[in-house]
Amino acid sequence: MAGPGRAKTGYPPPPESKPWHPTKASVMARLSRSQTATLVLTFALLALVIPPAAAQAQPNRLVVGFHLHCFSGVAPADQVRLDYWSSGLARGNPDPDCVARQPLLAPVTLQRATLHHDDASLVDLVRLEVDPAQREAIDRALRAHLRKVIAITVQNRIVSTVFLTGSTADHRIPVYVADKVAAADLVSDLSIMLGQQR
């Protein structure tokens, strides 16, 4: 929940949490699995794409958030623990996991979630289609946090944790995942919540 003097973000209020203090050993142990020069950590390839301006608004509003992960340096007073959407998306990471209480930018409206297979990487990916009016704000926020670990959330539940190592100019955030079922379940859950049929 935002403290005194903070503007309201429009996100559902996150749960209270105790400060989390990562050790150097724990940080290096988790980040040592991220050796590629792309967006890393082992989850499903999730891409953020911008739909055509003519896309219709959905009846139920879901919010996509971008939070700095505690690995990237978050003061104890600003930390909060958020649940993963499912254990399949957590993939062995602490659940709930530690992120910054305040998101990197104002709420981003989710319009559609679809499942695709990426022929280049031979993995499945979830595409979260968001409000096209917010594409520039997303790009600026992510470019300002390159080489940082961030958590992507929907309704304050983590769907992906990524280490930003490249440009976000194409407005896509790939996250590698081994759990095909978890990716399909996420799309199903979001489609139902948006009042859509798969």
Return the pLDDT at 198: 47
Q: What's the domain count of the chain?
A: 1
Residue 99: inside a domain, yes or no? Answer: yes
| 5: region left, alpha or beta (phi > 0 left; psi from -120 to 50 alpha) | left
Would you say residue 113 lies in a domain?
A: yes
Domain that holds residue 116: 35-193
User: Beta strand pairing status for 123-130 and 108-118?
Assistant: antiparallel
Q: Number of helices (H) and strands (E), helices first, in the chain?
A: 4, 8
Kindly report the CATH number assigned to the domain that includes residue 90: 3.30.1360.200
Tokens for 111, please give them. Answer: 């319009």
The predicted structure's pLDDT at residue 36:
37
Asked whether residue 13 is assigned to any structural domain, the reply reads: no
What is the residue-level pLDDT of the chain in tens, covering all 198 positions?
445 554 455 566 665 655 555 554 554 445 444 433 334 333 334 555 555 543 444 457 899 999 999 999 999 999 999 999 999 898 889 999 999 999 999 888 888 888 877 777 667 778 888 888 888 888 889 889 999 999 999 999 999 888 887 655 444 455 556 688 888 899 899 999 998 854
Closest CA to 6 of 64, 78, 71: 78
pLDDT of amino acid 15? 59
**DSSP SS3 for 157:** strand
